[in-house]
Structure 1
Amino acid sequence: MTQNLGKPAGLADPHDLDLFEFARSGRQAAGVVRVSQLPRMLNEVPAEAPDRDTAFTWQAEGATQPELQDDGTEGPQPYLRLAIHGAAWLECQRCLTPYKQAFNVDATYRIVNTEAEAEEFPLDEDEVDVIVGSTQFDLVDLIEEELLLSLPLVPKHDVCPEVHESLVSGVAGAEGEGDEAAEDEAEEGGEPDRPNPFAALEALKGGLKKDGPDGKKH
């Protein structure tokens, strides 16, 4: 299957998808979405990144499986599986330089009709999330939300190329003391106490996970 950016063959517009029909017919689709198409994700990419407009590939598959309904009969329950792979540049919080972060998402969603149904779904279900479906579902918005939820709490290199000067002591006392203090602090990973810059992001991610803009429950 050959796809264009975000508009794969057989899927006219991933921003306007009949999610119920997609699941009922067991359809599959795949495509590519760039960071420039995801404004909230783009905000996470530092201005000095080598490439601010990296690409993510995605694959979506609809399905149904028989489940017991409220009226006691068995009926088809729609599901969506979504996989996202790619990388984006983030700012390392140790050395304050850009680094490339890989993203690999593989999520399964139980599609329900209303927010009330979503609220009734058990919160301790680990393998399946819940989303409120529609006949005009924005799949790209769901992709962006999953990427935001996958952001590391503290973005950082596995091994920093260097320690930023603001994170080490640069004030020299007696000859050589400044360099020794800087080396000791760098080795120990010492940083001055300061507010966690990701506290607000963590709260935002928690809010998205609880009740995202597309009605998805985590």
Structure 2
Amino acid sequence: MLYRLPEYIDPLQLADNRGELKGQIPVSGLDRLNDLLIADTGSVTVALFFGREGRLPKIEGTLETELNLCCQNCLQAVVWPVKHSVKLGIVKTIEQANRLPEDFEPLLINTDTVFLKEIIEDELLLTLPTYPKHPYDCLALHKDIKNSDTDTGQTHKKNPFSILANLKNTGDLNGSTKK
């Protein structure tokens, strides 16, 4: 069963209490991520587990969603499925971050409470490809569709510069008949 997620969390207190957060957050609420999406539909399923590994407070879990990105080849929507594993070590200083085990990423906190949405958004931004593309040759597909449209008897558009050719032939540029 999915529960409502809190807006702010105290990650150290949750780690001490072995807390867990499960729920969904709408994609439309992730402002920085929305700038990169064609559509902000759907939601992110969140399952985060807090605890300690020795003295290290940690967050582990998964984020699952489908994002609508813009294909960099054809500029059409491409659905990008995300199933991301989260493994964060909660630290307060850069020195602590440098001592984290290799399989942990640092979550640097300055205050007791943290905006949960920012953690989720940061993790999703890290999963995005630099150049999202369809897994197939979408340009060839769109070219074939365009060619089939012209083969079905569609008229060609008139060249907007054809009027300039007529002006050149008559020698009438701005009312001047200079030769």
How big is each residue's C-alpha offset from its partner over 1:160-203, in whole Å with a ceiling of 9 and x where there is no partner? 455456xxxxxxxxxxxxxxxxxxxxxxxxxxxxxxxxxxxxxx
Instruction: Tell me if 1:35 matches 2:12.
Output: no
TM-score (normalizing by structure 1): 0.59
**1:26 aligned to which of 15, 18, 26:** 18
Distance 2:84 2:2 in 1: 22
How big is each residue's C-alpha offset from its partner over 1:47-101, in whole Å with a ceiling of 9 and x where there is no partner? xx4xx322110111011122xxxxxxxxx32111131001110111111111100
Give the letter aligned to residue 136 of structure 2: V
Q: CA deviation at 1:115?
A: 3.7
Alignment-derived partner of residue 3 in structure 2: 3
Alignment-derived partner of residue 140 in structure 1: 117
How high is the sequence identity, in percent, across the aligned residues?
23
Q: CA deviation at 1:138?
A: 1.6
Alignment-derived partner of residue 157 in structure 1: 134
TM-score (normalizing by structure 2): 0.71
The answer for unaligned runs of 5 or more in structure 1 is 8-12, 67-75, 166-218
Alignment-derived partner of residue 114 in structure 1: 93
> Any conservation in 1 of the 2:88–2:106 contact (CA below 8 Å)?
yes
Instruction: Give secondary structure in 2 for the equivalent of 1:85.
Output: strand
Distance 1:95 1:20 in 2: 46
Query: How do 1:1-218 residues align onto structure 2 when only pairs under 5 Å count?
Result: 1-4=1-4, 7=5, 13=6, 15-46=7-38, 49=39, 52-66=40-54, 76-118=55-97, 120-121=98-99, 126-133=102-109, 134-163=111-140
> Any conservation in 1 of the 2:72–2:132 contact (CA below 8 Å)?
yes
Q: Which has the larger radius of gyration?
A: 2
- The structure in which a higher percent of residues are strand is 2
CA RMSD for the aligned pairs? 2.1
> Any conservation in 2 of the 1:83–1:106 contact (CA below 8 Å)?
yes
Distance 2:127 2:26 in 1: 16
